[in-house]
Structure formats: structure tokens, C-alpha cells
Amino acid sequence: MDRLENTVRPYAWGSPTAIPQLLGAEPTGEPQAEMWMGAHPGAPSRTARGTLAEVLDADPERELGEKTVAKFGPRLPFLLKILAAGAPLSLQVHPNLEQAREGYADEERRGIPVGAPHRNYKDANHKPELICALTEFDGLCGFRDPRQTADLLDGLGVDSLKPYVDLLHARPEDAALREVLTAILSADPEEMAHTVAEVTAACTRLGGDYAPYAEIAHHYPGDPGVIAAMLLNHVRLQPGEALFLGAGIPHAYLNGLGVEIMANSDNVLRCGLTPKHVDVPELLRIVRFEAGDPGVLRPEASFEGEEVYETPIDEFRLSRYTLPEGAAAHDLTLSTPQILLCTTGSVRAGEHRLTPGQSVFVPAGEEAEVTGAGTVFRATVIV
């Protein structure tokens, strides 16, 4: 197996302290948002044999296993991250596989450069993802019941929100959500900025259920995404709890440290809380206008101490081992590739000692025995 050296991405929303604290390192004073583990071309992990991308390219069937290559091609289908949100991320959705293929092909035909700021589809893949909290973690996930949202908006006492309140009460669920989101994102910018300022003042004054939106508005003053965020469920995860974000589900991470895993894609359509491009027509094509419970996941005991976060896709499978002091060795050998990540304590994976934030890549079929006392997350695929 290969010890991984991983890149930390300094996005502006990142916490300057959470990842350094996990790693036992001194903060640099700059935001540290995501640590990437995998073979994504944007920041592939490094090993003693070269980058993980180079290692996989040299002999994909040996490293990934014949079944993985047959199902997903000669690439690692997932990207594992440690994510540290110190400020809200953009409100966003991801396409399903068919939508991603259609969108990518269309933009290719139109000759839009992949790096263009108005490009929506960087690749032809979908991007389901799972976030598992390491600390208390706040996020937004999926649409709240329109009637509850109407009450929330009405409670602010802001006159310019009344048309949205009326729509949410009067229309069927899917139509109400679609019309209100469309109206928010299509409104005159000056009028919307004034509305957001009134909403911000009211949320700050009222606190309670409104407090998360006051915090969002603090980071994104005047952004229509502040109003759009109020259409969504606010979720506070406790350590060990997780959220699965499927295609078309609007979401945003607000604050906290977590382990994130996703299909290997960069396809994001933004709804707000961002200075970046918002393609309203394409966004409305992708969003699933369905209200519902966000569905907090808790790990389910599987086999010999493994706790699995069950999801409906095959590109990744995330599980967790909590190893008590003096426990017997765990054999984690699989016929699929895996990344093992330590998040607490001190464990040994093969010949490698891992402390929090350290990880290894285990090729398909290679023996993987883990000992020690701590927490280990395992990322692999389903074939």
C-alpha cells in the first residue's frame, strides 16, 4: 500500500484552523478548505511511486482490479476529502448522469472552453456526494415543506416577501417551489439587494430559527441566495452523522469539519451565495422541486466492526472503524481499491503508522491489516 501526501486547497470559505488542528500543525493564517485524497487531475495525491494518477495509469487492472476497471473504466471513480467550512459554500445542485452527458456534449458542440467562467459542465459524469461530520456540522439540504417556508418568510415582516408567501400557500408543491426560486433568481438586482438587506436585519433581530440565515447574509450581503437558502431545510449534524446529496438536490455546507466523498466530477450548477456564474434556465432544468426530510444518515453495523454509510450509488462506499485500545487486528483486504483515512488516535495500516489526517491507498486485492486505537474511514467502490 502507498502512503498518500495530499494537497490542501485554500478556497476562501475554508476554516483557517480546523484542518491544521486535525493534523496537529500550526495554522498558516490562510483558509484551508479541502484536503483531497485520490487521483483527480486537479490535485492528485502523491506517493513514493509518483502521483496516484500516474500509478493508476501505469497498470489500472493491477491497482484497481479487473471488476472495477470493467465497471468504471481505468480510473478511480471517487474523490475523498476532508472538508473544513469556515463560511458558507455556494448554494448548488449537481446533475444526474444523463443530464451531465447531455450538458457536456452540448457545451462541447457549442465550443465553450472547459475553463470558461460560464461553462456548466466540466465533464460528462454525475456528482453524488456524502458528507460525514467530524465535528458539529451545519448545512442546508433539500426543500422544506412550502407551507413551513411560507410561515418562516411571513414571520420576518418584510413586505416584498409577500408575493413569495402567497405563492407558497396557493400553488401545488412543485409549482410553488419552482416559481418562487425562479422569481428570486430573476428579480431586479437592486430591488433584491434591498429585500435581502431587510431580511438580514429581521433575521439578526429575531435569531432562533432565523440565525443561520443572518450568518449567511453576513458573508453574502445582498445576494439573492440568502432568500433562496430559506427555502431549504437547515440541518445540524452531530459527529458521525452524514448527509447524502443526490442529483438535483439543492444544498450548501455552512460550517464544520467533515469527511466528504463524491463521484469524480466537477459539475456544479450554482443557485446563489457566490460571485460565480448562475445559469438560471439550466439550473431550473436540473433542480428537483420536491420537499422532504433531508434524511440524516447514521452508520449501520456491517461485518467485524465496520459501520457503513449506505447510499444508492456504486462509485463510492464509505465506512468507519472505531478501534478500541487493545483490539485485535482488522483484516480490511478487498478485491476493490481503497483509501484508508485516520481521523482520531494512532493506527497502523500495514507498515504505515497513521495519525489524524493521514491516509494510504490500498490496491485491489492487496492485504490490508489495521491495528491500533483510533478511527479509520474506508473509501472504496461497489462492483
Res 305 pLDDT > 90: no
* Residue where the block lists cell 474511514: 377
| Predicted pLDDT at 92 | 94
Cα separation, 286 vs 146, whole angstroms: 19
- Map residue 247 onto helix, strand or coil: coil
| Predicted pLDDT at 27 | 94
DSSP code per residue over 364-381: TT---EEEEEEEEEEEE-
Its pTM surpasses 0.75: yes
Question: Counting Cβ atoms within 10 Å, is residue 298 exposed (0-12), middle (13-18) or buried (19+)?
Answer: exposed
Cα separation, 270 vs 28, whole angstroms: 30
| 338, 369 contact by CB (below 8 A) | no
Res 261 pLDDT > 80: yes
Res 303 pLDDT > 80: no
> What number is the average pLDDT over the span 118-123?
90
Res 365 pLDDT > 80: yes
> What number is the average pLDDT over the span 185-191?
94
Give the rounded distance of the alpha carbon of 327 from its chain centre: 32
Query: What values do phi and psi take at 230, rounded to 5?
Result: -75, -10
Cα separation, 211 vs 379, whole angstroms: 35
| Predicted pLDDT at 16 | 97
| 153, 302 contact by CB (below 8 A) | no
| Predicted pLDDT at 138 | 97
Q: Any idea which residues carry the catalytic annotation? A: 270
Strand partners, 375: 322, 344
Compute the mean pLDDT over every residue in the chain, rounded to the nearest whole number: 95
> What number is the average pLDDT over the span 333-343?
97
Distances (CA, A) of 349 to 56, 220, 332, 367: 20, 43, 9, 10
Res 383 pLDDT > 80: yes
199-243 pLDDT, tens digit each:
999 999 999 999 999 999 999 999 999 999 999 999 999 999 999
Nearest to 357 by CA among 380, 373, 375: 375
Report which residue type is found at 289. F
45-84 pLDDT, tens digit each:
999 999 999 999 999 999 999 999 999 999 999 999 999 9
| Predicted pLDDT at 115 | 86
pLDDT bracket for residue 327 (50, 70, 90): confident
Cell numbers standing for residue 347: 493506527
| Predicted pLDDT at 49 | 96
Cα separation, 293 vs 301, whole angstroms: 23
Res 338 pLDDT > 90: yes
Res 362 pLDDT > 80: yes
Cα separation, 301 vs 305, whole angstroms: 7
Cα separation, 203 vs 187, whole angstroms: 21
Residue ranges of alpha helices (H) inside 96-236 are 97-109, 146-154, 162-170, 173-186, 189-206, 211-219, 225-229
Res 311 pLDDT > 80: yes
| Predicted pLDDT at 302 | 81
pLDDT bracket for residue 304 (50, 70, 90): confident
